[in-house]
Amino acid sequence: MSDIDENEFQQLKAEIEAWVRGPGELWAERIEAENDVPRELYEELRDRGYLSLAAPEELGGRGIPFPRYLELLEIVSRSHASIRMLVHVNNGTWRAMEPFANAEQRELVKKAVSGEVLVAFTLTEATAGTGADIRSTVRREGDTYYLNGEKHLITFGVKCDYWLLFARLEGTSGKDGTVALLVPNSGLPGAEVIDDSQTMGVHGTDHAILHFTDTPVPVSARLGEEGDGLKVALGGFLLPSRVSVAMSAVGLAERAQELAIEYALKRETFGKKLAERPVIQTYLAENYADIAAARALIFEAARAYEAGAADAGALSSASKIVAVDMLARVTDKALQIHGGQGYWARNPIERVYRDARAQRFEEGTNEIQKTVVARAVLTDHLATHPTTPKAEA
Ligand SMILES: Cc1cc2nc3c(=O)[nH]c(=O)nc-3n(C[C@H](O)[C@H](O)[C@H](O)COP(=O)(O)OP(=O)(O)OC[C@H]3O[C@@H](n4cnc5c(N)ncnc54)[C@H](O)[C@@H]3O)c2cc1C
């Protein structure tokens, strides 16, 4: 579908919308009731092709251009957060691996795209900052690395087939010496997997704490060279991923707004529907404007990414800042419109509100996004105004 056929695309969009409203809602109820994402759901998403929308045809994907993929992700994101997570992760992890994969590893990337194997992005650590601060280490002996350290908050870390894991060569610091490894989750010696899935929202998706003690990993499991680890983790992958998370916020906000509108049209107090009260109308109007503004910025960021524009990085972070803050406001007002009812788990807004909170951590918090944007605007200003005195470091 690289040269996108508009009719085919609109059909796909309608099909996804119908799935989200129909079977997707039933899955959402089951996930909440059982606190588990059943294997059949994963297989259904895979068989419907929803896990391989964005990857290029050479990798077995549908090759849908990024901004058009975002339109589909927007719809999926109105669904349960764990469904959105499966679609988002499977449609994105190939971006990190593909540029660094050799011929053999590319076969694994293809399996990840087709949904045959599930790969968990394994970066965050309890005792280090996310990025150049990581402390998990590898020691090389011949053709084997021995992995030591721990990871936590790892989505799909329990059930996945591989961890795309980031560590550093013993004795290195900062960006230097980082490595990206495709580590099989197959009972390797010294690897302990702890199920840590009791979260506020995004129920059903498993999360892991991982401990490694002298776990042997073949050197051939490394993506790229020694020193490329953070490039794999934070390079070309992160930018579209941030924009995708921003679009997920838009989709979820749309669902919150829809629930708020339905409730306001239904609930009557003091002889009038809530929807007739100016203060409630103001909330709905503010939500509408908030969502529309974030959506417009996301598409600007997506176009900048597609064009390889110089400001694509700053725009991707900016879109995430705006979208997740928007989501917090919209879900808060949507819950407020529901009154006390909304606080009860029997109402879908309760789940939407909880799920929304997680998006403020995904792909870098807003605090970190702001440092990225600030660096970009300061660097840009100094480049275009060379006589400006530089700040002391
Ligand atoms: C539902 C969920 C799923 C997740 N899935 C994964 C996953 O699959 N794989 C994975 O690797 N990680 C995952 N994470 C972890 C997530 O990426 C991190 O929570 C996030 O990057 C923040 O890192 P931290 O939790 O270590 O917070 P910390 O780094 O401890 O930060 C705490 C607070 O301080 C702020 N802060 C930290 N450093 C700075 C700084 N230098 N300047 C200013 N402010 C700062 C942060 O923004 C935050 O508000 C997941 C998290 C959640 C909530």
Q: Would you give per-residue pLDDT tens digits along the chain (393 residues)?
A: 556 799 999 999 999 999 999 999 999 999 999 999 999 999 999 999 999 999 999 999 999 999 999 999 999 999 999 999 999 999 999 999 999 999 999 999 999 999 999 999 999 999 998 888 999 999 999 999 999 999 999 999 999 999 999 999 999 998 889 999 999 999 999 999 999 999 999 999 999 999 999 999 999 999 999 999 999 998 778 899 999 999 999 999 999 999 999 999 999 999 999 999 999 999 999 999 999 999 999 999 999 999 999 999 999 999 999 999 999 999 999 999 999 999 999 999 999 999 999 999 998 899 999 999 999 999 989 999 888 777 655
Whole-number Å distance between alpha carbons of 86 and 94: 13
Which residue has tokens 């087709």? 114
- Residues serving a catalytic function are 363
Whether residue 180 sits in one domain with residue 134: yes
Whether residue 130 sits in one domain with residue 41: no
Residue 51 maps to which CATH number?
A: 1.10.540.10
Query: Could you tell me the CA-to-CA distances from 57 to 1, 7, 43, 68, 302 in Å, in that order?
Result: 8, 19, 20, 15, 20
Q: Is the CB of 154 under 6 A from ligand 1?
A: yes
106 in a structural domain: yes
Residue 208 maps to which CATH number?
A: 2.40.110.10
Residue 54 is part of which domain span?
6-114
Please tell me the distance between residue 371's alpha carbon and the centre of ligand 1 in angstroms: 14
Whether residue 285 sits in one domain with residue 158: no
β pairing state of 222-223 and 178-184? antiparallel
Alpha helices (runs of H) in 267-365, residue ranges in sequence order: 278-307, 312-337, 348-358
The residue out of 226, 245, 260 marking a domain boundary is 226
Contact 66, 2 (CB under 8 A): no
The residue out of 63, 81, 114 marking a domain boundary is 114
Query: Could you tell me the CA-to-CA distances from 202 to 47, 81, 266, 356 in Å, in that order?
Result: 23, 5, 28, 9
Whether residue 99 sits in one domain with residue 69: yes
Whether residue 235 sits in one domain with residue 221: no
Whether residue 110 sits in one domain with residue 202: no
309 in a structural domain: yes
Whole-number Å distance between alpha carbons of 244 and 123: 19
Consecutive H or E run containing 223: strand 222-223
Please tell me the distance between residue 361's alpha carbon and the centre of ligand 1 in angstroms: 6
267 in a structural domain: yes
Q: Which atom of ligand 1 is nearest to the CA of 120?
A: 8
Residue nearest to atom 36 of ligand 1 (CA): 367
1 in a structural domain: no
389 in a structural domain: no
Please tell me the distance between residue 235's alpha carbon and the centre of ligand 1 in angstroms: 18
Reference 299, options 226, 250, 352; nearest CA is 250
Q: Is the CB of 121 under 6 A from ligand 1?
A: yes
Whole-number Å distance between alpha carbons of 160 and 165: 12
392 in a structural domain: no
Whole-number Å distance between alpha carbons of 240 and 23: 28
The alpha carbons of the chain give a radius of gyration, in whole angstroms, of 22
Please tell me the distance between residue 131's alpha carbon and the centre of ligand 1 in angstroms: 10
Whether residue 373 sits in one domain with residue 235: yes
Number of domains in the chain: 3
Whether residue 157 sits in one domain with residue 95: no
Q: Is the CB of 81 under 6 A from ligand 1?
A: no
343 in a structural domain: yes
Contact 226, 106 (CB under 8 A): no
Whether residue 135 sits in one domain with residue 200: yes
102 in a structural domain: yes
Q: Is the CB of 144 under 6 A from ligand 1?
A: no
The residue out of 87, 114, 141 marking a domain boundary is 114
Residue 379 maps to which CATH number?
A: 1.20.140.10
Whether residue 56 sits in one domain with residue 36: yes
